[in-house]
Amino acid sequence: MRLIAIIFFLGCCNLSFSQKKLVYTDKSYEEEIRTVQLYPALNGNQDKLRPAVAPINTQNLVLEFDDLIGQRSNYYVRIVHCNYDWTKSNLQDLEFMNEYNEYAITEYDMSTNTSVPYVHYYFEVPRVKLPGNYLLVAYRENDEDDLLLSKRFMVYSNDVALVMDGQNQGLGTLSVSNQQLNFKLNYSKLDVVNPMESIQIWVRQNQRWDNARGSIKPTFIREDRRELEYRFFDKTNQFMAGNEFRFVDFRSLNFPGVNTGRLDRSKRPFHLSVLTGKSREGQAYAQYRDMNGNYVIDNQDNRDPSLSGDYVFVTFTLASPPLAGNVHVMGALTDWDHSAASRMDYNRGANAYEKTLFLKQGWYDYQYWLEGSNQNSFQLEGSHFETENLYEVFVYYRPFRPQADLLVGYYQLPANSR
């Protein structure tokens, strides 16, 4: 009965196949599929915070997720090759895979001493033959329509050289809230005839795709040097710098950490209230280290957080008058999604926005994001050029053969690194 109640709260169990339409982004298609992480396994403490990006000669990506149905199921994985803009490419499986394109997920463990039983799955992503964009798709019982999750990853080669040029901030008044990336690309290793058409650039901030800049054209082309210059003088391709992320620490349920409020232990799963937040608009910038919107699964009450970490109802509250636009809890904890899954409800009695999420024990970064075409999405957080952010530059090239967008360069550009 307890599990049934949890699933009822989460929305619904086992969406019908007609509702499970594959989208080429990070998504869980069933409410029971939780805490999906895809990362490069480098045997380091920060592995799970790293982008799901790997060099072509060292492919070491790992998928982990929990299934809240506390019994093992037969799950499979396939890989979809995508164009630079995350649409499905026309390549056949054998053009980018070394063998067949269906793999059983065979590594799993049962949770231990948790109020919500779950199965924790672990899968090493198979190698691909071409650099580029890929979508990892998991499904049930050999039925590709019975979707569980989709997760983006990228594999790159080092065929272009990037050099930073100038400051990572905007011009004039824009420098108060924006960050600007100026750089040069040398493509002398590639046989490029028309770089304006055959080379595509994407830039993203803090591993999020919802505000990434794509199809960016060079400001100058120097064919004699085989060089492209990108100088973003207007805010079209600049990024709002944002603010350092808020955070909450419930790695321990015996001694909840920073920014936690009341923990209701009267029934299981426990219900945790995060300390009520307020708008940070107009406030001075405060420097502290965050995880750029990511989260870490950890359990300080028991060993092995992957299996002993418990799930908790976590309520986020933002004190605010009603705003002209939907307010969302944003970060990796909601897959940077602007949907009902992240949208907060307004409680007029409390004069506050509220949202309850079902989260595994850990440390979570988050922000409050304001939706609306005429709204500044950082209105509730403020935006400061001093903010520490991680930018990634993806360089795609489409040769004559294969007719596919190859990821020929990948660079991480920290802004205000500390």
CATH number of residue 198's parent domain: 2.60.40
Whether 225 is covered by a domain: the verdict is yes
Residue 356 pLDDT level (bands cut at 50, 70, 90): very high
Tokens of 254: 């015996």
Q: Looking at the 3D structure of the chain, how many domains does it have?
A: 3
- Give yes or no: residues 17 and 146 share one domain: yes
Whether 341 is covered by a domain: the verdict is yes
Residue 18 pLDDT level (bands cut at 50, 70, 90): very low
Give the distance between the most distant pair of CA atoms in the chain: 72
Residue type, position 41, single letter: A
- Give yes or no: residues 140 and 272 share one domain: no
- Give yes or no: residues 295 and 185 share one domain: no
d(CA 6, CA 167): 50
Tokens of 140: 């049930």
Whether 377 is covered by a domain: the verdict is no
Cα→Cα distances 414→209, 332, 393, Å: 17, 19, 11
**Coil vs helix vs strand at 387:** coil
Task: Output the pLDDT for position 222.
Answer: 93
- Looking at residue 275, the DSSP 8-state letter turns out to be P
Do 174 and 385 form a contact (C-beta atoms < 8 A)?
no
d(CA 57, CA 63): 19
Bridge partners (DSSP) of residue 232 are: none
Q: Peptide bond before 402: cis, by omega within 30 degrees of 0?
A: yes
- Give yes or no: residues 358 and 392 share one domain: no
Scored b (16 or more CB within 10 A) or e, 299-308 reads: bebbeebbbe
Average pLDDT estimate for 131-141: 97
* Nearest residue to 82 via CA among 404, 393, 403: 404
pTM of the shown model = 0.92
- Give yes or no: residues 236 and 258 share one domain: no
Whether 291 is covered by a domain: the verdict is yes
* Nearest residue to 364 via CA among 248, 245, 242: 248
Summarize pLDDT for 188-244 with one digit per residue, the tens. Answer: 999 998 999 999 999 999 999 999 988 888 999 999 999 999 987 666 778 889 999
Tokens of 416: 């205000």
d(CA 119, CA 73): 9
Please identify, among 132, 156, 180, the residue that sits at the C-terminal boundary of a domain: 156
Residue 375, pLDDT > 60, answer: no
- Give yes or no: residues 211 and 290 share one domain: no
Do 239 and 177 form a contact (C-beta atoms < 8 A)?
no
Residue 43 pLDDT level (bands cut at 50, 70, 90): confident
d(CA 296, CA 291): 9
Do 154 and 24 form a contact (C-beta atoms < 8 A)?
no
Mean pLDDT across the chain, nearest whole number? 91
**Coil vs helix vs strand at 343:** strand
- Give yes or no: residues 232 and 253 share one domain: no
Whether 381 is covered by a domain: the verdict is no
Do 413 and 201 form a contact (C-beta atoms < 8 A)?
no
Give the domain extent around 225: 161-241+386-415
- Give yes or no: residues 82 and 170 share one domain: no
Tokens of 281: 């608009």
Whether 379 is covered by a domain: the verdict is no
Cα→Cα distances 139→27, 126, 150, 336, 340, Å: 12, 16, 9, 22, 23
- Give yes or no: residues 140 and 165 share one domain: no
Bridge partners (DSSP) of residue 385 are: none
- Give yes or no: residues 304 and 335 share one domain: yes
Tokens 């493509």 belong to 187
Q: Check residues 1 and 206 and name the one with the higher pLDDT.
A: 206
- Give yes or no: residues 138 and 13 share one domain: yes
Provide, for the chain, the percentages of residues in helix, strand and coil under a 3-state DSSP scheme, each rounded to the nearest 5: 10, 40, 50
Task: Output the pLDDT for position 173.
Answer: 40
Please state the three-class secondary structure of 293-340 as a single string. CCEEECCCCCCCHHHHCCEEEEEEEEECCCCCCCEEEECHHHCCCCCC
Bridge partners (DSSP) of residue 345 are: 354
Whether 375 is covered by a domain: the verdict is no
Average pLDDT estimate for 11-17: 42
- Give yes or no: residues 34 and 132 share one domain: yes
Residue type, position 81, single letter: H
Tokens 């509730």 belong to 380
Whether 193 is covered by a domain: the verdict is yes
